[in-house]
Structure 1
Amino acid sequence: MNMIRIKASWRRCVQTFAALNTAALLAATSHAKESKPNILFIFTDDQSHETIAHLGNDEIITPNLDRLAQNGVYFSNTYNMGAWNGAVCIASRTCLNTGLGIWQAGEAEPTLGERAQRGEFWSQLMSQAGYETYISGKWHVKTKVQDLFDHSANIRGGMPKDTPEGYYRPKENDTWTPWDKSFGGFWQGGEHWSEVLATDAEGFLENAGKSDKPFFMYLAFNSPHDPRQAPKEYVDMYPREKMRVPANFLTDYPYKQEIGNYEVPDNNEGILRDERLGGWPRTHELARLHKQEYYACITHTDAQIGRILDALEKTGKADNTYIIFTSDHGLAYGHHGLLGKQNMYEHSMKPPLIITGPGVPKNETRDAFVYLQDVMPTTLELAGAKKPDYVFYNSLNPFIENENTPTNYPEVYGNYRADYQRMIRVGDHKLILYPLAGVYRLFDVSKDPQEMRDLAQLGGEYKDLAAKLFRKFRKLQKDVGDPLDLTEIFADLM
């Protein structure tokens, strides 16, 4: 009996402690909301969800991103919805800064200036909520950025100027190296753009530390987008011969033409620019080279993020600052025989997403489906501002406070351009549709995370599963405003 009483008493203690801990977290979050927490948004370009050491990558070196992951919540199923053009980052960033869904943002692109005049951009909403707003780095949204933020520094375009030497690599007599400043690119101006951004951020934070006004910082690195340039010491961290080739490497992708990456019929663009970074057939040496330079850029960027985090600590405001880290999408560097982000595979659709701040649990993961653009309404809620009706996305705060919160998106939607690619993910399964080829692919992402086993080839029960997902996709199309009629092309799934 004594042992039973001891166990019961211990159980009550544990329950009490858990309740107190939860109350403390909620109180901290509530206090942060009342005192207008600062928001530090760090955004990279082309960074896949697979590229953080603490989250399972034993090849890469990312001590500062590890530091964020250890001190916050990681969203393991974060997606970008897609793009209406080859520059996927334009679509991603337009959706992020307007809050519009992919098709609504595409339609609104010609009139973004009018939305700016009405004060409908993310930064403007934060300003209206009482924040001092700041931007440095990449913008790539078709409106004048200086009208949207209180302060700006070194605003960059879509990508640094590239050179012919940077394409179709590796090749004989390859003269291009990531640290050679004569090629310009990230070295244009003499100092690497990622280092310039960190210096800009340090300067703003030094001043912000003296102000009582809350701040919203939008720090957008162009890295690790190509041309993938970094100082030699970072490239040397990744000996090319030791780089592992991606498990889902292919020498060629069987549908590269139909998905819009290579000589698509009636498309005068020819080979997609990203795909021209290497030649065909893809080789292991190609994959190792591009991975080496990609990882070097990420580690170099990580070092600059460390500078920013250290500068935040010096302000004395770190305890009342939410830090959000993500990227605009992922990337392929030999995965499935591809070299860009214009595809529906996990490596290209999923960026990392980490949030830290007051009341946020440490070193935890949330597996719910989210879109990276959910960070926009998340910050509005933290700022005490109401989410406008036109914002498609949803706050992540309920997931931060409770890991069992049901997702706002039971199905994930994806597209690439008007009629090249479509995707739906439901639970563990993903259906990819190639309208120009009349082909669909089916994967169990939980059992096959590298998406190497196409279940559509097996027929039978998988044909039934594909048909079920296709029916869900048709409904999802209506929900997001996708006008493409696929009923005739995929009549066998009806």
Structure 2
Amino acid sequence: MVSGFFRLLLAALLLTGTGLRAQSPKRLNVLVLLTDDQRFNTIRALGNAEIHTPNMDRLVKSGTVFTQAHIMGSLGGAVCAPSRAMLLTSRPVFSVHEDGGVIPASEKTFAEVFRESGYQTFSSGKWHSDYASFNRSFASGDNIFFGGMHTEKEGGHWKPKLHHYDPSGTYKSPFTGNDFSSVCYANAAIEFIRKPRQEPFLMYVAFTAPHDPRTPPEAYLRLYDTEKISLPGNFMSKHPFDNGELNVRDEMLLSTPRNPAEVKLEIAKYYAMISEVDHEIGRVLDALKASGQYENTIIVLAGDNGLAVGQHGLLGKQNLYDHSMRVPLIFAGPGIPANKRVDAYCYLTDVFPTLCRLTGLQQPATVEGISLDKAFTPSRFSGRDRLFITYSNLQRAIVKDGMKLIVYNVNGQHPVQLFDLEKDPLEKNNLANDKAYQKKVAGLRALLQSEMHRYGDFCDFSKAGWGWPGKLKWEDAKRINP
């Protein structure tokens, strides 16, 4: 009789929504979409009327956009390697290892944390770190690319060198993809989405577009008429001074002085590559909806770094201007406000702790980013009050209260730039030599040196040549934090 009473009580609790069901809510899935070399202002819904990005537009309209998301920079020209390592581990620029090439077991990726919490973790696309960290992070994957770019010598995006998931972690059997790189990655993601499963999932889909070689399918290139493409408002035929990286590979893709017609064609190709990857992102989102999991999934879209493509006379990302350090960052999904813009400063390193807060997982002690979850509430979200950005031993920058200071260390020369980003978002008017701004220059320079010390910078303003007068070699960069 007693046991019958308790059976009735348990049934009543379940029917009323209390008891065990209330204590075990459905766990949210996570989908992280990462693009390669996509700068912040290449989404139509965010103000670029010349580009076609219908699927990124729908994420903008259904989610919250961080309009001042940045990366922290790098020690070498392959900016995407440390950027991706910082996203994955939430470690700052001087704390990632071999400039992002290695992620030690002592520093967990967000995928590892989710995997250890019972999530099915899956990846397709680019991994710019070591095999071991990939296999610790993901229980499965397919069409995986280990490296920085699909070189023209190996066939570019049309013949991507890929791997199936290898449980041994040796990855000794590469194969050539049978379609454009973005299609290969989206296909693998869609196949994973369609598989039935009980446990929640975390997917990391890291596209290699719009990184060069910019050889988009003709259908996407036809969307852009080079005669109608606008030159950027800060187009220059050449950079006004030596920034230390005018001869890096990225800058050699076009002739110097920059030819306006060549630059417009390169912009058209860049936009076409973004439209192509946008289409593949749309296929993944559509598959997620068809699976019934869309409404239960947190979606993050981000770029790993920006690109100049003619701005300031530059083509690449080996500089500290906004076009190279500022990236798209969008969150969408359950509990995230739709069509919201947040202009607080943040880094990609802040994605990891944000995902932990949104899903109720404990972040590891090695995480140094800040959670952005308050931006999804009615409460005021202030974000970071400054940004520290760095490149090699050649360039350092600080951003605070809408003002940006960039200083250089090139062949004994130390040019200085100061920009009012609110009045001059294209960074065209250098105020550093204006007498009215000398106090501002001095204050930002002192703050920059303080940030360099706080982050463990190997350079020091108080020493000749910042303590490293020659150009940092890649072999030396890998030894700074091995």
TM-score (norm 2): 0.85
**Alpha-carbon distance, 1:252 to partner:** 0.6
Letter in 2 for 1:101: P
**Alpha-carbon distance, 1:184 to partner:** 2.1
Q: How does 1:82-121 map to 2 (within 5 A)?
A: 82-106=73-97, 112=103, 115-116=104-105, 118=106, 120-121=108-109
SS in 1 for 2:300: strand
Letter in 1 for 2:424: D
Contact 1:286–1:334 under 8 Å retained in 2: no
Question: 2:395 aligns to what?
Answer: 421
Aligned with 1:261 (options 239, 245, 251)? 245
Question: 1:468 aligns to what?
Answer: 443
Stretch moving more, 92-101 or 358-367: 92-101
Q: Say whether 1:160 aligns with 2:129.
A: no
**Alpha-carbon distance, 1:143 to partner:** 3.9
The separation in 2 between residues aligned to 1:34 and 1:387, in whole angstroms, is: 20
Question: 2:342 aligns to what?
Answer: 366
Aligned with 1:132 (options 99, 117, 120)? 120
Contact 1:187–1:193 under 8 Å retained in 2: yes
**Alpha-carbon distance, 1:287 to partner:** 1.3
The separation in 2 between residues aligned to 1:356 and 1:261, in whole angstroms, is: 37
Contact 1:36–1:383 under 8 Å retained in 2: yes
Q: Say whether 1:150 aligns with 2:126.
A: no
Contact 2:186–2:280 under 8 Å retained in 1: yes
**Alpha-carbon distance, 1:360 to partner:** 0.9
Q: How does 1:449-460 map to 2 (within 5 A)?
A: 449-458=425-434, 460=435
Question: 2:385 aligns to what?
Answer: 410
The separation in 2 between residues aligned to 1:184 and 1:373, in whole angstroms, is: 33
The 1:111–1:357 alpha-carbon spacing in structure 2 relative to 1, beyond 3 Å, is closer
Runs of 4+ in 1 over 6 A off after TM superposition: none
**Alpha-carbon distance, 1:304 to partner:** 0.6
SS in 1 for 2:448: helix
Contact 2:189–2:284 under 8 Å retained in 1: yes
Contact 1:429–1:445 under 8 Å retained in 2: yes
The separation in 1 between residues aligned to 2:25 and 2:450, in whole angstroms, is: 40
Question: 1:184 aligns to what?
Answer: 155
Q: Say whether 1:235 aligns with 2:193.
A: no
The 1:44–1:457 alpha-carbon spacing in structure 2 relative to 1, beyond 3 Å, is same
Q: Say whether 1:481 aligns with 2:456.
A: yes
**Alpha-carbon distance, 1:410 to partner:** 1.1
The 1:33–1:423 alpha-carbon spacing in structure 2 relative to 1, beyond 3 Å, is farther
SS in 2 for 1:94: helix
The separation in 2 between residues aligned to 1:94 and 1:238, in whole angstroms, is: 34
The 1:375–1:232 alpha-carbon spacing in structure 2 relative to 1, beyond 3 Å, is same
Letter in 2 for 1:411: R
**Alpha-carbon distance, 1:68 to partner:** 0.2
Stretch moving more, 442-451 or 430-439: 430-439
Contact 2:81–2:99 under 8 Å retained in 1: no
Question: 2:14 aligns to what?
Answer: none
Letter in 2 for 1:413: F
The separation in 1 between residues aligned to 2:121 and 2:365, in whole angstroms, is: 23
Contact 1:62–1:299 under 8 Å retained in 2: yes
The separation in 2 between residues aligned to 1:486 and 1:462, in whole angstroms, is: 20
Letter in 2 for 1:213: E
Aligned with 2:359 (options 368, 383, 394)? 383
More helix by share: 1
Aligned with 1:433 (options 402, 407, 410)? 407
Contact 1:33–1:384 under 8 Å retained in 2: no
Task: Name the % identity.
Answer: 38
Q: Say whether 1:248 aligns with 2:222.
A: no
Contact 2:403–2:418 under 8 Å retained in 1: yes
Q: Number of paired residues?
A: 424
Q: How does 1:299-338 map to 2 (within 5 A)?
A: 299-338=275-314
Contact 2:86–2:100 under 8 Å retained in 1: no
Residues 56-83 of structure 1 deviation map (CA, whole Å, 9 limit, x = unaligned): 0000000000000000000000000000
Mind listing any 5+ residue stretches in structure 2 that lack a counterpart? 1-21, 160-176, 467-482
The 1:365–1:83 alpha-carbon spacing in structure 2 relative to 1, beyond 3 Å, is same
SS in 2 for 1:97: helix
Q: How does 1:3-42 map to 2 (within 5 A)?
A: 34-42=25-33
Aligned with 1:287 (options 233, 256, 263)? 263
Residues 206-247 of structure 1 deviation map (CA, whole Å, 9 limit, x = unaligned): 01xx22211000000000000012110110110111111011
The 1:102–1:402 alpha-carbon spacing in structure 2 relative to 1, beyond 3 Å, is farther
Question: 1:339 aligns to what?
Answer: 315
**Alpha-carbon distance, 1:254 to partner:** 2.2
Question: 2:5 aligns to what?
Answer: none
Contact 2:239–2:313 under 8 Å retained in 1: yes
SS in 1 for 2:187: helix
**Alpha-carbon distance, 1:119 to partner:** 7.1
The separation in 2 between residues aligned to 1:486 and 1:253, in whole angstroms, is: 24
Root mean square deviation, CA, Å: 2.0
Question: 1:217 aligns to what?
Answer: 203
The 1:427–1:490 alpha-carbon spacing in structure 2 relative to 1, beyond 3 Å, is farther
Letter in 2 for 1:433: V
Residues 94-138 of structure 1 deviation map (CA, whole Å, 9 limit, x = unaligned): 1122221110114685763xx33x572221111112211000000
Residues 120-174 of structure 1 deviation map (CA, whole Å, 9 limit, x = unaligned): 22211111122110000001113432343011111112110224xxxxxxxxxxx
Mind listing any 5+ residue stretches in structure 1 that lack a counterpart? 1-30, 164-182, 263-270
TM-score (norm 1): 0.83
SS in 1 for 2:363: coil
The 1:299–1:119 alpha-carbon spacing in structure 2 relative to 1, beyond 3 Å, is same
Question: 2:44 aligns to what?
Answer: 53
The separation in 2 between residues aligned to 1:431 and 1:110, in whole angstroms, is: 29
The 1:462–1:211 alpha-carbon spacing in structure 2 relative to 1, beyond 3 Å, is same
SS in 2 for 1:241: coil
The separation in 2 between residues aligned to 1:67 and 1:133, in whole angstroms, is: 25
**Alpha-carbon distance, 1:318 to partner:** 1.1
Letter in 2 for 1:401: T
The separation in 2 between residues aligned to 1:32 and 1:293, in whole angstroms, is: 52
